[in-house]
Structure 1
Amino acid sequence: MKEATTMVVVGADVHKRTHTFVAVDEAGRELGHKTFDADSAGHRKAVAWARERFGTELLWAIEDCRHLSARLERDLLTVGQQVVRVPPKMMAEQRRTARTRGKSDPIDALAVARA
């Protein structure tokens, strides 16, 4: 019997100069995180990192702030990745209920992935 593949969600916390990505499994457990430059070369490196570490069944979750995320979305779609936009309202709820307190790029990216 063939083993089922597991979908990994990669959440992104986007900023003008860098994007931080956190990968989670189907239960929302963090599998890893990394920060890359917020340009097309950095986006390619992020895809390579995620594929190498977590396989090809990826879903990229990006907080819906298009002035910062449009290029990332375009670059991901260009290389055949699945992308979903996460509404900011969902992010507020995730941050409110998260066990982790504080503010950091990995915490925010984790909240995006879990939302």
Structure 2
Amino acid sequence: MAIVQLRHDTDGRAYYRRRLAEGKPPLEALRALKRRLSDVVYRQMLADAKRLETGPGEHTGRL
């Protein structure tokens, strides 16, 4: 997911470039981007779980 963000003109690429401009090495900037993306995914999972009235990783038992 992070590599795709870097290949296209996205917010992820801008974030990566900001980290490089701060003097971070490329691998450190990539790690920061991966962490940022994982935080976004986790927040979305929590929002979905709240909407469905379940906990993270749980299911409602309904299909």
* TM-score (normalizing by structure 1): 0.20
The structure showing larger relative contact order (alpha-carbon pairs under 8 Å, at least 6 residues apart) is: 1
Whose helix fraction is larger, Structure 1's or Structure 2's? 2
* TM-score (normalizing by structure 2): 0.30
